[in-house]
Amino acid sequence: MAIKLHVNGAVREVDAPDDMPLLWVLRDLLQLSGTKYGCGMAQCGACTVHLDGQPVRACVTPVATVGARKVTTIEGLSPDGSHPVQQAWAEVDVVQCGYCQSGQIMTAVALLAKRPDPTDADIDAALSGNICRCGTYVRVREAVHVAARLQRGGK
């Protein structure tokens, strides 16, 4: 059935069954492939997107439950990679294979919105739902601190 979604600032209409996960609507119907499939059961965080700024696992979010909430994906974070979290990721040279990083970044953005100056414990708590098989965790942690500084206007 036709479902209206607010994605990255635009209204999109998709023809999808109610129970189709938002992840596959984004990837297969809206061609927004930056959000990744990793486990399909909210275990790995690769599919993390924001609904009204809250991080959710798109792989277990039926599209019909999204409603009027605004969906933000990695593609909607900035047009050019200039979001402070993306800048921090580049500065710290975080990525390896890169597959999980959309999810890591979306989770970090949501954390910083809630806690502008997170401790290591805050970071561990927020990001332990995001698995990185390459083991970039040390640099993810560092990059979140750098992003916090950038968001405060520091250098």
Partner 1 sequence: MTISRRGFLAGAAAGTAGLVVSFYVPGAARAAAMTPTPASPTPNAFLRIGSDDSVTVVLAHAEMGQGIWTGLAMLIAEELDCDWAKVRSEHAPAAPVYGFPGMGLQMTGGSSSTNGEFDRYRTVGATAKAMLLRAAAARWKTSPAKLTAQNGVIAFGGKTLRYGEVAAAAMALPPPKSVTLKEPKAWRLIGTAVRRLDTPEKITGRAQFGIDVAFPGLRTAVVLRPPAFGATLQSFDGSDALTIPGVEQVVKTANGVAVIAAHFWAAKLGRDAVRATWSTPEGGGVSTAALLASFRDLAEREGAVVATTGDLKPTLAGAARTLDATYEVPYLAHAPMEPLNCTVKIDGDRCEIWTGTQFPTVDQGAAAAILGTTPDKVTIHTPFLGGGFGRRGNPASDFVAEAVTVAKAAGVPVKVIWTREDDVRGGYYRPAYVHRVRVGVDAAGAPAAWHHVVVGQSILVGTPFEKFAVHNGVDATSVEGIADSPYLEHTAAKHVSLHSPRTPITVLWWRSVGHTHTAFAMESMIDELAHAAGQDPLAYRLALLAGKPRFARALETAAKEAGWSTPPPAGRARGLAVHEAFGSIVAEVAEVSIEDGRIKVHAVTAAVDCGTAVNPLGIEAQVQGAIAFGLTAALHGKLTIEGGAVVESNFHDYPMLRMFEMPAIRVHVLASDAPMGGIGEPATPPVAPAVANAVFALTRQRLRTLPLRLAPEAR
Per CB under 8 A, residues contacting partner 1 are 17, 20-21, 24, 27-29, 31-41, 43-44, 46, 73-75, 77-78, 80-81, 86, 89-90, 93-102, 105, 123-125, 127-141
- Residue 124 DSSP symbol: H
Minimum distance from CB of 155 to partner 1 (Å)?
17
For residue 79, give both structure tokens. Answer: 């047009």
Of residues 8 and 51, the one with the C-beta less far from partner 1 = 8
Minimum distance from CB of 108 to partner 1 (Å)?
11
Q: Alpha-carbon distance 58 to 23, whole Å?
A: 5
Residues in the chain: 155
Of residues 30 and 51, the one with the C-beta less far from partner 1 = 30
Q: Alpha-carbon distance 25 to 62, whole Å?
A: 9
Minimum distance from CB of 9 to partner 1 (Å)?
15
Where are the extended beta strands (E) located within the chain?
A: 2-7, 10-15, 48-51, 54-57, 70-72
Q: What are phi and psi of 49, to 5 degrees?
A: -130, 175
Minimum distance from CB of 36 to partner 1 (Å)?
7
Q: Alpha-carbon distance 22 to 88, whole Å?
A: 28
Minimum distance from CB of 89 to partner 1 (Å)?
5
Of residues 2 and 41, the one with the C-beta less far from partner 1 = 41
